[in-house]
């Protein structure tokens, strides 16, 4: 079963457990899939013992609100997958509530069959996930929980935020909508009273946070996918660009084997180089990504991006040349 399908099934389960009723058409639209796929996912839930049922009155599916998942009875592979996530993958992402997650994993391990515990303990010794760089933030747990509470209760928060661009602290009200992890740090998306629009703010730059007594109403549920659109990472600029790059044979295969963007297309040339194309909203973020490949990449289009890369490369040479002894 693919990872995307597992995620979809888990989301269906979460939605049905919220005591809401969903028609098949609603689920198909929600996940951008077909009715046939939804029926298959519902069947998979039923096969693992989740009593999702069809209500002919509402013509929709639901789960009994009294549902409790079966008693813990994990096999070796299920346990290994869970422990990999908690003990190993946490090096790849800064997990909020890390101690709580580790404590929960310890409880699960303690209730496993001795044979399964021995198997997992032995296997985990042979698996390592290299720790990735993370934004340092000692107050992640507290800030994360406060923002999550404010999101769920639709409460305005007042924050003091250090702006790296302006090199000073800013104080403003924020209507928080969504927590988002991206490239080494956690962010909160919300509507800022200072910026008159929806912006993303790094949690580690929040110096003070206070949940106010003010509630906020939202005419439309914030959709993170819709907001990001085709941004390269997380900052859409409001204009689509067709980006066409040629990567040299030395790096072509390594670059092409990663799905960097959902619009990505790849064509290999006879000499082993790769032409990779994207349709992205904005050029600011992808510019930095291109620079990491140095002289192993050429910008074929658009011209404005090529000029930006040339200008930045020239600035790098100029600044470093100044440091050379005369």
Is residue 134 within 8 Å of 185, Cβ to Cβ? yes
Q: Are residues 34 and 91 in the same domain?
A: no
Question: pLDDT value at position 15?
Answer: 66
Last-in-domain residue among 228, 255, 288: 228
Strands 206-215 and 197-202: unpaired
Instruction: Give the percent of the chain with pLDDT over 70.
Output: 87
Confidence of residue 264 (pLDDT cuts 50, 70, 90): very high
> Mean pLDDT throughout 130-147?
88
**Is the residue at 233 inside a domain?**
no
The verdict on 58 and 83 lying in the same domain is no
pLDDT for the residue 215: 93
* Beta-carbon contacts of residue 158 (< 8 Å; ≥ 6 apart): 171, 172, 173, 174, 209, 210, 212
- Looking at residue 178, what is its pLDDT? 95
Q: Looking at the structure, do residues 253 and 307 belong to the same domain, yes or no?
A: yes
Domain CATH for 28:
1.10.10.10
Alpha-carbon span 81 to 106, nearest angstrom: 14
Residue 260 and residue 220 share a domain: no
Question: Which pLDDT value is given to residue 68?
Answer: 47
The tens digit of pLDDT for each residue in 206-225 reads: 999 999 999 998 657 788 98
147 and 214 assigned to the same domain: yes
Q: For residues 233 and 7, what is the distance between their CA atoms, to the nearest angstrom?
A: 21
250 part of a folded domain: yes
Instruction: Give the CATH number of the domain where residue 183 resides.
Output: 2.30.30
Over residues 176-200, mean pLDDT: 93
| pLDDT at 183 exceeding the cut of 60 | yes
The pLDDT assigned to 258 comes to 95
What integer pLDDT is reported at residue 201 of this predicted model? 96
More confident residue, 187 or 58: 187
> Do 251 and 194 lie in a common domain?
no
Q: Are residues 90 and 12 in the same domain?
A: no
Clarify whether residues 144 and 224 are in a common domain: yes
Residues 107 and 157 in one domain: no
CATH code for the domain in which residue 250 is found: 3.30.70
Q: d(Cα 142, Cα 257) in Å, to the nearest integer? A: 38
With bands split at pLDDT 50, 70 and 90, how would you rate the model's confidence at 2? Answer: low
Query: Residue 130 domain-assigned?
Result: no
Average pLDDT over residues 101-130: 79
- Report the DSSP beta bridge partners of residue 97: none
What's residue 16's pLDDT?
A: 66
If asked whether residues 55 and 81 sit together in one domain, one would say: no
* Domain boundaries, position 214: 140-228
To the nearest 10 degrees (0 to 180), the angle between helices 3-17 and 24-31 is: 130
Residue 14 is assigned to a structural domain of this protein = yes
| Residue 273 pLDDT greater than 70, yes or no | yes
Q: What share of the chain is helix, strand, coil (3-state, %, to 5)?
A: 40, 25, 35
Question: Which region among 86-100, 124-138, 218-232 has the lowest average model confidence (pLDDT)?
Answer: 86-100
Q: Does 234 fall in a domain?
A: no
E strand or H helix at 60? strand 60-63
Considering the chain, what is the average pLDDT of its residues?
86
Please give the DSSP secondary-structure letter assigned to residue 164: T
Start-end of H helices in the chain:
3-17, 24-31, 35-47, 76-83, 98-110, 114-124, 140-153, 224-228, 249-256, 284-291, 303-321
Q: Are residues 197 and 245 in the same domain?
A: no
The pLDDT confidence band at residue 284, using thresholds 50, 70 and 90, is very high
Q: Does the model's pTM come out above 0.85?
A: no
- How many domains are contained in the chain? 4
> Do the domain assignments include residue 135?
no
Please give the pLDDT value at position 134.
Answer: 85
The reply to whether 119 and 144 lie within a common domain is no
Task: Give the pLDDT mean for 284-297.
Answer: 96
Interval 63-84: pLDDT, tens = 665 554 455 567 788 788 888 8
> Which value, to the nearest 10 degrees, does the dihedral of the CA atoms of residues 277, 281, 283, 284 take?
-140
82 inside domain? yes
133 pLDDT more than 80: yes
* Residue 71 maps to a domain: no
């Amino acid at each position: 079963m693919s990872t995307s399908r597992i995620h979809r099934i888990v989301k269906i389960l979460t939605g049905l457990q919220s005591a809401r009723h969903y028609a098949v058409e609603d689920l198909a639209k929600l996940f951008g899939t077909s009715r046939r796929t939804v029926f298959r996912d519902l069947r998979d839930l039923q096969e693992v013992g989740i009593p999702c049922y069809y209500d002919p009155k509402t013509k929709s599916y639901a789960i009994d609100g009294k549902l409790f998942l079966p008693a813990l009875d994990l096999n070796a592979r299920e346990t290994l997958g869970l422990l990999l996530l908690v003990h190993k993958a946490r090096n790849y992402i800064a997990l909020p509530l890390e101690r709580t997650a580790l404590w929960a994993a310890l409880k699960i391990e303690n209730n496993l069959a001795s044979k399964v515990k021995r198997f997992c303990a032995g296997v985990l010794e042979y698996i390592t996930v290299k720790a990735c760089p993370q934004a340092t933030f000692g107050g992640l747990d507290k800030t994360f929980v406060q923002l999550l509470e404010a999101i769920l209760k639709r409460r305005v928060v007042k924050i003091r935020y250090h702006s790296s661009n302006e090199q000073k602290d800013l104080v403003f009200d924020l209507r928080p909508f969504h927590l988002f992890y991206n490239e080494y740090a956690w962010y909160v998306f919300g509507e800022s009273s200072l910026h008159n629009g929806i912006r993303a703010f790094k949690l580690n730059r929040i110096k003070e946070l206070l949940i106010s007594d003010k509630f906020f109403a939202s005419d439309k549920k914030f959709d993170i996918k819709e907001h990001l659109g085709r941004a390269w990472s997380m900052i859409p600029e409001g204009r689509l660009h067709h980006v066409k790059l040629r990567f040299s044979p030395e790096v072509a295969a390594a670059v092409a084997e990663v799905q960097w963007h959902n619009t990505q297309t790849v064509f290999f040339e006879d000499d082993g180089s790769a032409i990779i194309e994207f349709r992205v909203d904005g050029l600011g973020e992808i510019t930095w990504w291109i620079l990491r490949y140095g002289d192993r990449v050429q910008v074929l289009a658009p011209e404005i991006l090529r000029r930006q890369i040339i200008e930045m490369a020239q600035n790098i040479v100029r600044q470093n040349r100044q440091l050379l002894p005369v």
